[in-house]
Amino acid sequence: MDDFKANKNQLDQELDRFITLLGDLLPHYHSLLEKDKLSEDELKRLGEIEHYLLGVNAKIIEIKKQLEQDLFGQSLNVYYQLKVQAIEGNPHSKLKLEKMRDAFAEALSAGEIINYN
C-alpha cells in the first residue's frame, strides 16, 4: 500500500506539473493565433507549438483509452471469474458478484458508464 501512496503522490505531482506547463504554453499559442500578421519567426513558432500540441493531444487520448480499457476490461474479467465461481456454488463469490452487479447498476443509472445494447 505504501508503494501506491508514493506512486499516487508522484503521479499527482507530475500531472500538476503537466497542467502548469501546458498553462504556460497555451497563452503564447493563443496570442500567436490572434495576431493578424506574423513574422517569419512567429509563424515558424506557431507551427512548432501547434505540431507539438497535436502530439500532446494524441498522447492524452492514448492514455485515456488505455485507462478506460484497463479499468473496464479488468472489471469485466473479475466479474466473469466471479460469475463462474458463483455458478459452481461458491457463496463468497456470489456475495462479491452481487456487490459488483449493484455497483455496475449504480454506475449505469448515474451515467458513469454507457450501455451500448
**Tens digit of pLDDT for each residue in 28-71?**
999 999 999 999 999 999 999 999 999 999 999 999 888 887 77
Cell 448515474 maps to which residue? 110
Please indicate, yes or no, whether the overall pTM of this predicted structure exceeds 0.85. Answer: no
Cβ-contact 107, 115 below 8 angstroms: no
d(CA 37, CA 33): 10
Max CA pair span of the chain: 74
d(CA 16, CA 95): 39
**Tens digit of pLDDT for each residue in 73-100?**
777 788 888 889 989 988 888 888 888 8
